[in-house]
Structure formats: structure tokens, C-alpha cells
Structure 1
Amino acid sequence: MDKSTLRKVYLEKRKFLSQAEYERRNELLYHRLIKFLEDNHFNSIHTFIPIKKNKEPDVFPFVQYLWSEKPEVDVITGVSDLQNPIMHHVKITQSTTFLENKWGIPEPKDGESYLIDKIECVLVPMVVGSKGGHRIGYGKGYYDRFLEKCSPNTLFIGIALGPLLDGDLYKDQFDIGMHRMITPFEIRDLGKPI
């Protein structure tokens, strides 16, 4: 299968998860993220805000955990430029108001601008990921463009609700490899990006 077929197949698989299974996987994912945080220290974590109607991984409980238990950690998210495939980055807090953009992505209505080179960890959404550290997203290139601008020391964490696949998922020259993959089923340490 090529990338676009894999994307379509795995978006459909996720869409047809029962609500109970979706919630179960998110609970497992939450505990793996907490475990990961216990083993690592960050001053800043960039996260996506899930589109729940698309059954994206719900990392928002983890964000709330950071706000309540790790207030010293800056939580950042992206705001998509709808004219160009780039994101602007802002710090979010418990008082941040979110509005959906035209793709249904919740984005902060306000927030303090945040410099990319200060971001220490990025949670990267995946439609599907591979054991080799590669990911397939929605195909618009926002994350690949963002990640290539990050500091060489920034840790990239691929997040998915499904199990990782064998192989490299048709890696191309623009793809940025992940350092870790976290799913409800495992935390995979891949070291430096590929």
C-alpha cells in the first residue's frame, strides 16, 4: 500500500473504534504518557489538541495533568496558518479559550507566542506509525515543516491509538523520524531521529 492508502485505511480503522474501545485506549495512552514523563524532565512540551469527532488520541487529560501537577512545565500548541502549511506556536494555560478552525482542530483563541527553539519535547499526532520511527499524518506537511525548525535537542514523540507497524511506511526525503513512539500498547525508544 502507498502512503495515501495507508492513511485512508488507518483513519477508517480509528473511526470505527467503539466508544468503549476508544476510551480504553486513551486511558492506556494517558498512563504511558505519565510513565514517560516520570522518566524524563522537560521545561516545555508542545502538544496537539485532539479532534475528538475524528477519534484522535485524546492527550487533553495529559495536558490537564501537566497544568495541575507540573505547573513549571510550559505547555505549547500550534495554530495553523490556513494559507501556508506552517504553524505558529503559543503557550496555553487552564484559562485558554479554544475555537475550532475550518478543519475542526481546536486552536487557542489567545495565548502568548512561544519560540520554537525553546521547545524541548513535541507530541506529534500520527494516523499510523512504524516500529522504525516513521509516521503518517494527514498529509498536509505542517508537522514536518515545524519539526525541521526545532532545536537538535528537541525530543519528537509520535502518538497514535493503534499498534505500530513493521517497516518504514514509505519514508520520503521530507519525513522527520521520531525519537519515541507512544501508543496504548507500548513506549518505543528509537534514540536519535532517523
Structure 2
Amino acid sequence: MQTLRQLLRQKRLDTNPSDRVKFGKQLLPQLQKIANFKNDQKIGLYLSNNGEIDPIYIQNFLKKQEISTYLPVIDGKSLKFAKIGENFRNNQYGIPEPISTDIISAEQLDILLIPLVGFDKNKNRIGMGGGYYDRTLDFKKQPKIAKKPKLFGLAFDCQQVDQIDVQEWDVPLDKIITPSNIY
């Protein structure tokens, strides 16, 4: 698995800068096909890091619509979500996190956009390997109980693989969105 993760991370990093911008812009209309955004929703997203596809156009759209947006903040071995504001600090991985008093759990989000290292057509994902999202979203394995949030993975098309070996702790996604497809 580690070699596949490394290969996919490199593919992600090798995407040229002008394509990164173009592909990032293409995510918003793809997402709008499946998400009915409303002002009272709470949307979790991420800041692009380590070659991840950038959801900045989605973030800007949500801000213009005055929809509340949240970013992950590390809380022990899992994640909480802090409302995006003006002030940030870097976490132990050097990723900026909002400094906010409005911190919520994943269960309080309506939609959560998740970065991927790799994915397959069955909506399984390979993450960075820390398990933060899987631990945070463990409650989603009880589908009759947990309807929220909808989990949408964001990726470049080149990150798709034929099949991912699923582990018992892996949380599948509801949809995966790439610049050219919705799975």
C-alpha cells in the first residue's frame, strides 16, 4: 500500500501548475450538479496541501453565497472543524488551521469535502496515511444512524486506480468528484 500511496502522491505533485488551476475551477460546476447549497448549511473543506486538488473556487463560491465553511483542525488523533476566519496557525504538519471559537464536530456538518491520494470507482479512498478522517468519520459506518455529513472526495482524474484494498477502519465516501467525472 505504501508504494501505491507514494506513486499516487507523486502523480498528484507532477500535475503542472496551469492544469492545477484549470482542474480546480472545474470542481465547482461538478459539485453543483450533486449538491444543493443552502444558506443554513455548514460545509467542511480543506486547504490544498502536498499537491492536493485545490477547492479554493468552491470556497470562494460558498463565501459569496454566505454559506458557513469550516476547515479541519487536529484534535488528538482525529479532527474537529473550525469556522474559517481571518487568523490561522500551522498544525504539527505545517498545515494552516483557523483560530476560531466556533468549533464543531463532523456530525454537525452537512457536506464534507475530503482530499484524496487515490480512489477507485467504488468510492474507496487512500488518504495520507494518518487515519484522521477515518477516525473522525467512524460514526458514518452506521448508515441508518448517520445521514450527515455527505462525504465528497475531491481528486484529479489521474488519482484513480482499479481497486483499493479496503481495511475495516476505512470509511467509504458518498461521491468522488474529479474535474471530468462524478463517481
* TM superposition score normalised by structure 1: 0.82
- Please identify, of 109-118 and 171-180, the stretch whose mean Cα deviation from structure 2 is larger: 109-118
Question: Structure 1 stretches of 5 or more lacking a match?
Answer: 189-194
1:132 aligned residue: 122
**2:182 matches 1:187:** yes
The 1:109/1:183 distance shift into structure 2, 3 A limit, reads: same
1:58 aligned residue: 54
Q: 2:74 aligns with which of 58, 61, 80?
A: 80
Distance 2:101 2:87 in 1: 9
How large is the Cα RMSD of the aligned pairs?
Answer: 1.9
Q: How many residues align?
A: 176
Q: 1:17 aligns with which of 9, 15, 18?
A: 15
1:114 aligned residue: 104
Distance 1:130 1:61 in 2: 25
Percent identical pairs in the alignment equals: 26
Question: Structure 2 stretches of 5 or more lacking a match?
Answer: none
* TM superposition score normalised by structure 2: 0.86
Deviation at residue 90 of structure 1 after TM alignment: 1.7
Deviation at residue 40 of structure 1 after TM alignment: 5.9
2:47 aligned residue: 49
Distance 2:56 2:20 in 1: 14
User: Equivalent residues in 2 for 1:21-36 (5 A)?
Assistant: 21-36=19-34
Distance 1:109 1:156 in 2: 24
